Structure formats: C-alpha cells, structure tokens
Structure 1
Amino acid sequence: MATTCGLRTLKNEPVPLKSVSVEVGVQGHVASVNSTLQYENQESNPVEAIFIFPMDSNAAVYRFLARIGDVEIEAQVREKEKAKEEYDDAISSGQEAFLLEESDESSDVFRLSVGSLPPGQTASVTVGYVSELAVQADHALRFCLPAVLNPRYTPSLTAEVPGAQAGDVPYTLSLTMDIYSPSSIQSVESNCPLTPLEFFSQDKTQAKVSLSPGHQFDRDVELLLYYSEPHQPMAILEAGQPGVQSGSLMGDAVAMLSFYPEIKTEKSSHMTSSREFIFLVDRSRSMNRPLRQSSGKQSCMKITRDTLLLLLKSLPLGCYFNIYEFGSHYESFFLESVEYTQTTMQTALKKVKSMKADMGGTEILPPLQNIYSKPCLPSHPRQLFVFTDGLVGNTKEIIDLVQRHAHSHRCFTFGIGEGAHFALVNSMAEGGSGHPQFITGSERMQPKVMQSLQFALQPVGRDIAIKWNIPAGITVNPVSPPVNMLFNLQRVIQYFQLTDQNASNISGSVSLHYTVEDKALENKLSFSMKPKTDGSMLLHRLGARKAIVDLEGKVRAGDDKSARERAVELSIQSGVSSSYTAFIGVNKENKEPVQGPLQRRNIPVGGSHMCNSKYFFEVLPTFFLCSHTFCICTHDSAYLVLPAVFCASPSLFPRPFPCPCFLTPTQTNLDAFTAEEEPEDPMMEVIGLQRADGSWDLQKSLASILGKREEDMAKASPGKVMGFSSVWATVLAVLWLHGHKAEFRDEWQFVATKAMTWVRAQSGRGDLFHSFAHVRISLQQVV
C-alpha cells in the first residue's frame, strides 16, 4: 500500500515546483546569491503555490523577479500590510501575483506565495540576496544553502512549515559558484559532490565550481573556501547608485572595512583567568538523532556529553561554573554557580554521564531568563555556552533577551547537526558579543568548542573606535551598529556611508583602536580606493541590512518610538527586506482573469516532513514529524516516538482514533529515535581520569588505557619520593596524548597545558626537586 507521506496534488502527483537553480558569486568575504525556482501547474485548475524556505539570517534579500511565459515582473518592496492587501486583491480578481515575506518570528524563514498560476502554465521566481561568509575554526570561509526547515517548536506547539524526506523531494538543485579572491584560492570542499575546481587566472584568484548534476536538495549544501591569505585587512569602496540623490544611503558611497586583530597575551594567562562559565544544554528528544554522515552514527546527545566532559577537564582553577539542561522544562546542576574544584567537577561529571535526550521540546527562553536573573559574580565575567540542535518559534524574543544582557556576559553558541536553527545560533552569539559554531556531517564538535573556550579565556578588546584619515570635505557616518568587543583572530566587518565624495578615488588611512587590559592597541590600514561602479550595490545592501536589524531590535525593546518608521523607510529605499516589509509583484499585463477555482498547494522543503493524514490534521491538536521509521508527536510538550504505520492512510485505523499522546509507554517505540553508540574513545577515557588541578593518579585504569600494567609503570618511575607517582602518571598521560592523539591536539591542548602547569608547580617542593630533574627531558619534549 502506498504511503501518503509527503505533500501531493489532488491527483497524488508531485507539487508544481520542478527545480531550484542557484548562482553564487563570491567576492572575498561576501557572497551574492540568485536562486531561481521553476514552477509548473500540471492541474486542470489554477494553483496558488506556497513555498516556505530557510534563509541565512544575516542575508540581505534585495531582489525578487518573476517570469510567467514571456512576461517578466520585477517585484517592489512595500510596507507588509499594504503588500498583502495588494496580493489578496490581485488573486481574488484572477490576476497572477507573487508575494515574498519574512517570518514574524524568525528572520531566517521566508514565505513565497505564487498566486493564480493558470493550468498548464510555467513560472519562475528569482530571489537575490547577499551575505557575509562566516569564518570557520580552520580559517575556511563557509557558504551554506540551507535545505532543512524543521517545524519550529514553541510552547503553544503551532506549526505551519512542511518538509519532505530525501526520497520525496520532487525537485532537484543545481548550483554554480564563481569565486573572486584577493589572494590565491587553495581549495573548495563540500558535504556534497562537486565538479573539479576550474581556475581562470594564473594567480588562482578566480575560479568556478559546481554541484555535480542531479543533486537532490535533501540536505544543507555547505561549501568551504580556503584562501592562501584569508585574513588580510581590506577596505572596499562602492559608489552610490546613479540618479539617487546624495545624502541618502543609496546615493552616497559606502565603504566596507575588514580587520582581523591579533591580540597577543601571555602563554599561560588563560590558566589564571577568573571566569564564570554556564553551559546550557539541549536535552530535547531530537538530540537522540545521529549527525548526518557521522562516522559511527553517534547521537547529538553522545557528542555533547563528550564535549562537556572535555570542557569540564579544561576549565582553569579559580573559575566558577554551572550546567543547565532544558527541554520542555529546565534544571540546573547547582542552585548557584560553584567554584571549580575536584569535588564539584566530579559531581558535575557524574550528572553529565547520565544525561539523556528525554526532556521533550525545545523551550530555551525560561532557562535563559533564570540565568539572567542571577547576579554576576564580582571579578568573574560570565561566559554562556549554548548547545542545541533544535529550532524554536520565538527566535526574536530570545535574541532580544540576550542582547539586553550583553553588557554583563558573552554568549557562545553551537548548532548541532544539519537543520539547527541558523538564525538563533548566529544571532544569540552576535547579540551576546560571542562566537557561533556549527557542527554538521562528520565534523567533530570538540575542536570548535575548544576554539570558543580559547576566546572566552583570553582578554578581549574594549573601548573600540574606528578613526579615519581622509581628505577634508568627506564626512563618514557609521551604517552598521558599533562593535562592543574584539576577540583575538576574529574578523570584524563594519560599513560606513561617505557623503560629499566626488573624487574618482580616495587615498588615506583608517585605524582600529581598542584597549586590552589597560593597554592601548591599534591596527592601521592604508588605502587608495576607487569606488566600484558595477551597479550591484552589494555593500550598500549589506550595510542597510545591518542597520535594519539594529532598528528592529530597538522597536522590540521599546527604546526608540521612531525606529519602526525608519526601518521601513530604509527597507524601501534600499530594496532590502525587513520584518515590516514584503516584496509584491503583480502581472498587470494579463488582461483576462484566470478562470476556475483556486487550489492552494504547500510545497515541501528538504529535510523532515509532516504526515499527510488529513484526519490527523483536522481532528488532533498536534502535528507529526515523519522520518523513515517513526513519527514524533509533540502534543502537550511530550515527545513520543510512534511506529511508522501511523504515517500511512488513516483508513487503517478506526474512527475516532485517540491522540497517540495518550498511548501507554508500552505502545510507543522510544528506542527508534536513538542513534547507535560507539565504544568509548580512549582519548576521552584518559581525559576523564584527569583531576581538576590537571594531574593524573597512577592507577590501574590509566595503565590499562596506556597499554601497560600498573606495577610496570610504578617500577619505571625515576622518582621514589611521596607524591612523585602522580607527577610520573601525569607526564606519561600527556606524552601518550602527544604520541597517540597528535591529530586531535586542538581538543586536548588545554588539558595538557593545565597538566604541565601542575607538574611545574610540583618542582618547587624540595622532596620532589631531585626526582623532577630526571624527567626534565620528557617535559621539554611535551612543551
């Protein structure tokens, strides 16, 4: 019997979206994207197609073009309510119309409505946007085309977004990327098959790459770009739009500045830093799923537990910490943050090892409110680490809360798995002056978390100012909001509007000033710039998007009564979308109204999808997220895994059929959602035996992992005085990490540094000094 999973037409035919074609142009750190969606109405009645799709939350959507037959319609930005009224009026009168709008809850979800598409007619819509490329831990620039759009979890459990399984996506994706780099392009890597990289210049600064033909858009498409010099400072000037009055953003020149400050600190300063660390961990049911393409099929929860173990072992003495876990409710390990000692670390580790993904939904707001309600500890700046794989429906409310407390903490975020909430992970880190990380495919979470820990432990740059030295008569005004903190080796991009700029080029310099631990520092960039006049206006639109997002935040905070009006004005002027505006296009050349009853079709996006059981949708106050072998019901904040047969035709079950949430535990299949777990990693076993002060005890469990007997290790010890056995065990453990796990150095570097700091401290004891000298050579090799 054929399943009804996946949304179909009334004739059980695929929905009318036929293909997605994407053209990407990369210029240094900026990507310009044009996505074309090809539709075909194969039914006998006119169709209104609804396509809800994910988008980079930092993207500036600036173009919406529709083609129906030979007619081309360039959509315009209007105030949202006016655009909706115009769209409704058009389709009610039988006209062909298009509407593109941003979600009210999250800036990374867009809804495209294609209205009154006549029977047998084809149509295409092109969405254009520009975004900055994120920098990865290995210095790659990351471009991501998100495909997965899971239902957003909110306490009210409302869902409007369908999805589709890999085999049910009725359209393919083609993607081509043209790359122009300021330095040579070393390579391009992807989680999807690519054609060979084709170069167009001898210095390898221009290249082209494409997805292999026939790609099914069933996962996020991720491309990593590696440049020979990815972090050289840059200043780019873009001319104003011809015909637009000077004095406005689009009429004046816009400059983009890119700095990559190097903040040098003492090698061991992180071991004496005082911080408060709070780890907020997602324990919702979906954390049981494996990472796609993950070797060994480890679950997101297992990987997160290992990462927390590594974090707890890497924390410096003198800091304070606490761990919160959340789902449909939240709990904390300690009532208040506690000092990091052997006792508190062991207590936390025991609880971490018992963590399971069994706490229901993804309600992140309540624990955040609890964390922020507690006063910060004196002289211990708060560092918040957030781990989640989920998606929420109250994104903007969460981001606003983080931003309101940015003066007292930093927020580091980790999106686990494909489909993690891009806007949430990015915007929480940006609003909290932290750093976002995404873990997908076969990537290891630990090195990325260790990079963020390094950021959190290092001193930051404050009192930031950008000063210009340019010819008189040119006024510089910031477009993007100011930067509050600088991290070591983290890129900073700012946009500025230059008024009264009539020269063909500008020579001068600009400098980035900041203070680190009361020491004034400066990064200077000299330039001779000729404004680019290619008509793309990419820098103007990126700057406009930054300003619009800042104004939207002020509206929600109630800080500025005129901010909404200014955001709408800037959106319309720049042609960049906002939460208060929408793109509207109407085919006014079609003089004859489309005849017949209008059918509405929801078009699936790649990833997980909903059950297509009409009975379930009409009767049950819930929704179902289908996978290959099971469904998840999220009624009343409960996550229960049901056999896949529930996804089949409702005729299999007698009516009225009770809500599956009321089934007893024996009637559910809770194990179906659990990934296969790998045996324990020896490296994590060794790290798990380390004490909070950085030392190891000479014991049987350590000897077993190192492949030795405890008595043999004790006999080989060059020192026989009391206390030296721990020094000897610590040296051996660190040497084993260097010899057997050198490729994972980024993960255990804090563990090893803490260990060597402890060993050096022991050399100050008279009874150990002589014995310590015998292992000096080994220590030098380790360090």
Structure 2
Amino acid sequence: MVNCFGLVTDNKEPVPLKSIDAQLEVKDHVATLVSTLTYENKEDKPLEAVFVFPLPGDAAVCHFSAQIGETHIVAEVKEKQQAQEEYDDALSSGQQAFLLEESEQSPDIFSLKVGRLPPGESASIRLEYVTELAVQADDGLRFCLPAVLNPRYQPQGPSVQVTSVPASLVPYSLSFSAQVSSPRPISKIESSCSLEPLQYLNADQTKATVKLGGGHKFDRDIELLIYYKDAHQPSAVVEAGQASAKPGSLMGDPVVMVSLYPEFPQSVMSSRAACGEFVFLMDLSGSMGCPMNNSTPQETRISSARDTLLLLLKSLPMGCYFNIYSFGSSFEHIFPKSVEYSEKTMKEALEKVEKMESNLGGTEILRPLNHIYSQACIPKHPRQLFVFTDGEVRNTKEVTDLVKNNADSHRCFSFGIGEGASSALINGMAKEGGGQAQFITGADRMQPKVMQSLRFAMQPAVNDISVSWDLPKGVSATVLSPPITAIFQGQRSLIYAQLTGPSSEEADGSVTVKYSLAGHPSQNQLHFNLKPAEDSELTVHRLAARTVIRSMESEERTRRGHQDEEMKKKVVELSIQSGVSSCFTAFIAVNKDSGKAVQGPLVRRNVPTDSHDYMAVDHLMDPLIKLFHFTGDGDLDSGRSARSAAEPPQPHKDPLLQLVSLQNASGSWMLHEALAAVLGKTKEEVEKAKPELVGLWASILALIWLHGFKMDAKEEWELLAMKAASWIKAQNAPCVSECVEAGNKLLGCSMKKEALGL
C-alpha cells in the first residue's frame, strides 16, 4: 500500500519533487533566473519523474546541470532527436539521465525528465535562463515567474500531458528572492504576491534585494514590477566575446545591446488624426466568467471587458472605422465588416457588448484572426488590432506566425488577463504585430492599461525606419535583431549587433535610428564606449543568440520546402555553439559515474502543477457550445441562452462608467435625469443653474465633474474628454467662460477653462 503522507499526487502516488528555489538577478533591464529543483525518491523502485512547467516565452535557457550526491553533471545542448535517443539508451542500460526540452508548439512550455533516480536517492537540478524585462505602460519593468500552468486549449492534435491539482494541494515548496542593480536609483519594487520589505544595499539606492513573503501558495504567478528613476534613459552595453569561441562567430566577437527610447515632438503628438480602423477581438471562453482577482470576486473578467469596450468605443474619433469580434470555440462579429464610427453604429455595438457573456467554450484564436486578416484594409485608415484573452493555447507559434505574416497591414496590441496568461502568446503577438503587450493581473484594472495602448494606437505611424552605425575604422556592426517595425513615444526599442574587427577599448561609437513621423524626418542617436562591461557572464551574447534563433525558427516554419532542413541545421549549430535552447535541440545529461547500473523496473511519476479549477470550464463548455453554434460567423446574439437574451442590461453602478455611457459619439452630452444623477443633482437643479441659451451646458458640466472628482482615473477618460473639448470648441460659442463659472458654482469646483482643454 502506498504511504499517503508527505508528497503525493492527486492519485495518491508519492511525488519526487520536494522543493523549488528560485534566485533572480536583475541588471538594469536584463534578468537572470537560477532555479534549483530538488527531487527525492522515497519509493522502493527506480523512478522517472516528469515535470512540465512554464517559462517566460522569450527566455533563453542557457544552463542545465544535476547534482547527485558528490557527482556534478553539466548537461550539453544536442539536436533533439539525438538527445532523446541518448536519454533512452541511458535508461535502458540502467544509468541515470536528465532531459530538458522545449515544446515544439509553444516556446514557453518545457518538460524536464529525471530518469532512473534510485530508491532513497536525491538529485538537485539547476536550471538557468536569461530574459529581457518588458516595459509596462507605467514604466515599470515586468518580471514574471509563471508558477501556474493552465491547461492549454488544443484545437486539434496531441498535447502535453499535465497532472493538475488545486493550488492548496501542490506538494512541493517554493522560495524566491531577487537582487536588483541599475545605473539609476531603484524607486520601488511591487508585486501581486506578498513581499518582505525592500532592502537597499548601498547609499545611492542602485542596488536592492527583496524576498517572497511567507505563506505563498501556488495559486498565482510571481510577478515583480521594478521601477527606476529616469527610466527612459537610452543605454548601450558592450560585452566581450567568449575567449574559447572562434573569432568571427557570434559567441567569439563582442556584442552590443542598445536600448533606445524615442521622444516625439509635442506638436506631432498633439495632432491625432481622426482616422484608423480599430478591430477589437475579445475572448468569451468559459474562464472569462471568473473573478478578476480574489479581493473583488464580484468583478468578473467578462464584466471588466464590457466596461473596457465601453470606454474604447466612447474614445474613438469620429470618422474612423471599427468592428468587434468575440471568440471561444467558435467566433462571431458585430458587423460583417468594419463600419464607420457614428452615433448609430456606436449604439448598435454597445447594445451587443452589454449582452456579452463568457459562453463560447474554448480558446480558438486562429480562426477569427484569419477572418480579420481576410478583410480588405480601408485606404488611409491604418488597421489597429486589439486582442484580449485570459486563455492559453497550444498552437502559440502558429498564432504568432500568422500575426507576423500580416504585420505590414496592421499593428497588434495584446492583453493577457489574469494569472497564468501565456507570455509567449501575449508578447509574441505584440512583438510580431509591431504593437504593445500588457498584462492585467492581481488587483490591476484593465481599463487604464487598455486606454494607454489606445493612445499608442492613435499615435501617428512611424515609417521608413533605418538603423546606421558610426564606428572606428576597421570595426563593423552586424545587426542580429529583426528590423524595427514600430516605434512609439517613450517605448523601448532593443537592438543587438555583433561587432567585428579590431578596436581600442577607449574608442567610441554611435548608433542612429532614422524614421519618418507624420511625414517629418526624425532621428534618435546614442553615443557609447566600446569598452566591454565587466562580469558579463555572456548574458548579452545569449540574449542575442536567442533573438537570432527565434527569427530563424519563425522563418523555417514559414518556408515549406527543401530549404527547411538547411535552416534547421543553422538553428541547431547556433543553439549548440551558444548553449541556448531551441525547438530543435534539448539539454541532455547522463550520469556515467554511478558505479553500477540502477536495477529494477522503472516507474514513471508525473509531477503535478497547479491549475486553477476554472480553466477546465473552457473544455467542459466546448461540446455544449457546439450545440448552439452552427457557424462561426453569426451575429453576437446567436447561440445565447434564452435567459441571457431576455435579461435587460444591468446599469453601470460606477458613476464614472455611467457618465461615459451617456456620452454621444461626437463627444457631447445631452442634459437629462441620468446625467444629473451622476453629478449628484436633480435635473431641475441643473436646469436652474444653466446660463441663458446655452447648448454646451451638459458637456461642460461633464468635463468639470471628470476633472474635479475623477482625476485618479484620468488615464481612463482622458481621450473621451479630449473629444468632448474638441466638440465644444468646434461650436464657436461665445459663452464658454460663463458656462465654466456657472458649472463650478453648481458642482462646488474651481476648474479653470484651460485645464478643461477649452
């Protein structure tokens, strides 16, 4: 009989994984994570333990080793099939072996096999990866350790088998600590998990350490947001090559990593054109009915999504085009094709948005994307795609490749909702689509992040981007990064380049990015010293190698022919040379020092990972949804239950959203009881205070109320307030100052006309 105490799976089998210790080191905006996984076999038979787990999608796994007793084995990177054969051969001959490999469908899923662990034996596995930290809308650098592996929606074909248990039953411990250093002071570090107080390690606050608080459960990712003072400073890091590597190779030559933060002229930024095609793609799978976070269970992901769509629709400029798609196992759209934004089309869309429910089953994102891309683009209205999803899909690479293949016709902004959202999917879509990725986790509100991305989408498109280098004589730069396809105000652009040729360490160089912004030629330049940074540990080289590997993998997938093998060969060569994993290679370690073969039949144990129970909703609802949906192209009412169709839309309780819902497409407001109620007045009180013959009164009152009482949510209403101010100015009324004065008196405010944008 199996002992049910201690480490057990949901099937009451002993679990060989005892603990995970994760140590993070952040240098400016590059992170290195070292994880130590400790296994112990408490059974009387030799074990094969299999652990499937997520890593950030853009991570470069660069070290894998094992410690068994006194024996230390460092794994080698080998071609995947060769590595798998060596692993199988080792097991069949009674040797201990370890195999780490990346999923072929999604770059953020890895499986670790610990083979032939003898009875009573322990093994410590050390896994190391490096990754760039993405910059969030509020300038925080985001690091995420995905502690949750949600079931991935699989449209067809086999999927990785994951044993899932509730968070409270995950039978191994996690410890986590982070050390942060930067040329700039660290202003704060925040997290969705409880942290111990931040400890500064020096007087100028450029080094700090922080640890995970006690009692962390495996019910959420570990997310850190790191804030530096003067975060938008461009920088360049030059790293010396590996002494043992061949000169002229990527690992043998110096590599420079350049971070640029373009700043656009205010005159260009203030003139937002009333054009664009805005397509919103909303996940309505079953899991969207779950709470946004544990502290406010009444606010579900779908209710937050409805509020967000309300703000988006009210903030669009007159004269643009728009459409809304929803998807689950099937997909739907409000209009057969994008329509011009007007009072009529806005109201029609909002009526459908209010009835949206999380009832479309699984997370099949490929089909609606194909449908959107099949629609002809509208001349002089650049397409802006906004994708919202809380799910994870198994065909991540297929989705990001599709976005990449259509990158010349649109910009893609992606939003990961809730814990466990796939960074490979969210970051990949934005990166390939020249847009921006945002993650909404913990107590985050969706609305400010989405509206920040809408401001990016309304920035003028940057064209004719080119990069040039000015280097000492005899030194040349080979750019390793894909071409820059999008530049936004204040958003970081990263460039990796290999430096070839002799140079003095005292020499300087510069890189210039030139582009056309709203028809005006612009440029940003950065000067840097070629002296390599000390104590680099080849971090920049590995990130550069990862960038090249991902580009070649993507190119290999898009080619269908005899050239595939040649590209695959190049990926394998660079992966082995750099020690960075790829989808065509794996890390293999065999313990050849164990004196005698491990005897006995091998027992396999899958290590369980936490999975939120609700994720199963997507899969359970899938066959039910198919009963109601005969086509993916019906309108948004088709397939709804009779109950939800009959229910009247619930009024917005939030006064801000109530005010927003009353705004017209033009940006104006009409004076009626609902508006007066939001302002805390009766309609009679508002009418009585109105100056004579004024048609602007309601709109000016709304602006005063927003500026006077809702400044903490300015990011959410700023665009629609600008639209309102433009409408008021376009009326050329002589009595605006008188109106503002009367409005201040009525609402008890003291707003200046200029502060309202008037």
Bigger shift: 703-712 or 346-355? 703-712
**Structure 2 residue matching 1:120: 3-state secondary structure:** coil
Deviation readout 1:314-367 (Å, 9 max, x if unpaired): 000010000011111111100110000000000000000000000111111111
C-alpha contact 1:275 1:380 (8 A) present in aligned 2: yes
Selected match of 1:576 from 580, 589, 592: 580
**Structure 2 residue matching 1:539: 3-state secondary structure:** helix
* Equivalent-residue separation in structure 1 for 2:440 and 2:433 (angstroms): 20
Shift of 1:215: 2.9
Shift of 1:515: 1.3
* Equivalent-residue separation in structure 2 for 1:719 and 1:625 (angstroms): 58
* Equivalent-residue separation in structure 1 for 2:265 and 2:162 (angstroms): 47
Matches within 5 A, 1:454-469: 454-469=455-470
* Equivalent-residue separation in structure 2 for 1:298 and 1:374 (angstroms): 34
Give the letter aligned to residue 58 of structure 1: D
C-alpha contact 2:219 2:612 (8 A) present in aligned 1: no
Matches within 5 A, 1:232-631: 232-266=233-267, 269=270, 271-534=272-535, 536-558=537-559, 561=564, 562-608=566-612
Selected match of 1:762 from 727, 731, 756: 731
Distance 1:180 1:284, change over 3 A: same
* Equivalent-residue separation in structure 2 for 1:703 and 1:82 (angstroms): 73
* Equivalent-residue separation in structure 2 for 1:709 and 1:253 (angstroms): 71
**Structure 1 residue matching 2:87: 3-state secondary structure:** helix
Q: Give the TM-score, by structure 2 length.
A: 0.91
Give the letter aligned to residue 729 of structure 2: R
Selected match of 1:708 from 671, 681, 701: 681
* Equivalent-residue separation in structure 1 for 2:466 and 2:545 (angstroms): 21
Give the letter aligned to residue 701 of structure 1: A
Matching residue of 1:67: 67
Distance 1:106 1:96, change over 3 A: same
Matching residue of 1:612: none
Matching residue of 1:688: 661
Q: Unmatched 5+ residue regions in structure 1? A: 610-623, 641-667, 672-676, 764-768
Matching residue of 1:133: 133
- 1:17 equivalent to 2:17? Answer yes
Selected match of 2:691 from 707, 718, 724: 718
Shift of 1:477: 0.4
* Equivalent-residue separation in structure 2 for 1:566 and 1:139 (angstroms): 37
* Equivalent-residue separation in structure 1 for 2:678 and 2:157 (angstroms): 47
Q: How many residues align?
A: 720
Selected match of 2:717 from 742, 748, 751: 748
Deviation readout 1:606-660 (Å, 9 max, x if unpaired): 3336xxxxxxxxxxxxxx966xxx99625647599xxxxxxxxxxxxxxxxxxxx
Matching residue of 2:106: 106
Give the letter aligned to residue 555 of structure 2: K
C-alpha contact 2:65 2:72 (8 A) present in aligned 1: yes
**Structure 2 residue matching 1:149: 3-state secondary structure:** coil
Bigger shift: 500-509 or 702-711? 500-509
Give the letter aligned to residue 104 of structure 1: E
Selected match of 2:699 from 709, 730, 755: 730
Give the letter aligned to residue 422 of structure 1: S
Shift of 1:679: 6.4
- 1:780 equivalent to 2:754? Answer yes
Cα RMSD, aligned residues only? 2.3
Give the letter aligned to residue 706 of structure 1: L
* Equivalent-residue separation in structure 2 for 1:114 and 1:13 (angstroms): 17
C-alpha contact 1:270 1:316 (8 A) present in aligned 2: no
Distance 1:381 1:707, change over 3 A: same
* Equivalent-residue separation in structure 1 for 2:227 and 2:584 (angstroms): 37
Matching residue of 1:185: 186
Deviation readout 1:83-123 (Å, 9 max, x if unpaired): 00111111121110000000011000000000010111111
Give the letter aligned to residue 258 of structure 1: S
C-alpha contact 1:269 1:458 (8 A) present in aligned 2: no
C-alpha contact 1:7 1:603 (8 A) present in aligned 2: no
* Equivalent-residue separation in structure 2 for 1:757 and 1:414 (angstroms): 30
**Structure 2 residue matching 1:110: 3-state secondary structure:** strand
* Equivalent-residue separation in structure 2 for 1:267 and 1:280 (angstroms): 29
Bigger shift: 99-108 or 501-510? 501-510
Selected match of 1:633 from 588, 598, 620: 620
Distance 1:260 1:746, change over 3 A: same
* Equivalent-residue separation in structure 2 for 1:56 and 1:289 (angstroms): 24
* Equivalent-residue separation in structure 2 for 1:199 and 1:370 (angstroms): 52
C-alpha contact 1:105 1:395 (8 A) present in aligned 2: yes
C-alpha contact 1:198 1:208 (8 A) present in aligned 2: yes
Distance 1:271 1:475, change over 3 A: closer
Distance 1:501 1:604, change over 3 A: farther
Shift of 1:683: 0.4
C-alpha contact 1:731 1:779 (8 A) present in aligned 2: no
* Equivalent-residue separation in structure 2 for 1:385 and 1:164 (angstroms): 33
* Equivalent-residue separation in structure 2 for 1:776 and 1:716 (angstroms): 11
Deviation readout 1:217-242 (Å, 9 max, x if unpaired): 33100111111121201011000001
Distance 1:11 1:712, change over 3 A: closer
Give the letter aligned to residue 492 of structure 1: S
Matching residue of 1:646: none
C-alpha contact 2:737 2:753 (8 A) present in aligned 1: no
Give the letter aligned to residue 348 of structure 2: T
Shift of 1:164: 2.6
Name the % identity.
Answer: 50
Give the letter aligned to residue 143 of structure 1: F
**Structure 2 residue matching 1:208: 3-state secondary structure:** strand
C-alpha contact 2:272 2:460 (8 A) present in aligned 1: no
Shift of 1:9: 5.4
* Equivalent-residue separation in structure 1 for 2:651 and 2:36 (angstroms): 42
C-alpha contact 1:271 1:317 (8 A) present in aligned 2: no
Shift of 1:466: 2.0
* Equivalent-residue separation in structure 2 for 1:363 and 1:757 (angstroms): 41
C-alpha contact 2:329 2:622 (8 A) present in aligned 1: no
* Equivalent-residue separation in structure 2 for 1:743 and 1:678 (angstroms): 23
Q: Give the TM-score, by structure 1 length.
A: 0.89
Distance 1:378 1:142, change over 3 A: same
Matching residue of 1:662: none
**Structure 1 residue matching 2:698: 3-state secondary structure:** helix
Bigger shift: 150-159 or 586-595? 150-159
* Equivalent-residue separation in structure 1 for 2:535 and 2:667 (angstroms): 58
Shift of 1:266: 3.6
C-alpha contact 2:22 2:176 (8 A) present in aligned 1: yes
* Equivalent-residue separation in structure 1 for 2:13 and 2:216 (angstroms): 21
C-alpha contact 2:9 2:171 (8 A) present in aligned 1: no
Give the letter aligned to residue 691 of structure 2: P
Shift of 1:752: 0.5
Give the letter aligned to residue 114 of structure 2: V
